[in-house]
């Protein structure tokens, strides 16, 4: 799906103390790192409202992803 939707970044929300899905985080981190895709992990409590700090983190992440997407790509020197 990453290639199909041309993903530039991932925001992952993990519920604290969620043993059932918490282990998926390791696989997601590894896969995104291998593909060079930035990931923002949000560790939240069930039912918790977004705080100002969380909104700021998401906004900064989105700005970073947008600036990466607009930056010219480096091309390897031709041999």
**Residue 58's pLDDT is what?**
92
**Residue 17's pLDDT is what?**
65
Count other C-beta atoms under 10 Å from residue 26's C-beta: 9
Among candidate residues 22, 23, 39, 43, the one with its CA nearest the CA of residue 31: 39
Instruction: Please report, in tens digits, the pLDDT of each residue of the chain (79 residues total).
Output: 888 988 999 998 877 665 565 677 888 889 999 999 999 988 877 666 667 888 899 999 999 999 987 877 654 444 4
CB-based burial label for 79 (10 Å; 0-12, 13-18, 19+): exposed
């Amino acid at each position: 799906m990453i290639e199909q939707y041309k993903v530039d970044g991932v925001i992952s929300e993990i519920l604290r103390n969620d043993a059932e899905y918490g282990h998926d985080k390791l696989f997601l981190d590894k896969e995104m790192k291998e593909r060079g895709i930035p990931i923002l992990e949000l560790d939240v409590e069930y039912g918790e409202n977004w705080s100002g700090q969380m909104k700021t983190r998401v906004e900064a992440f989105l700005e970073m992803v947008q600036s990466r997407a607009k930056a010219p790509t480096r091309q390897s020197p031709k041999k």
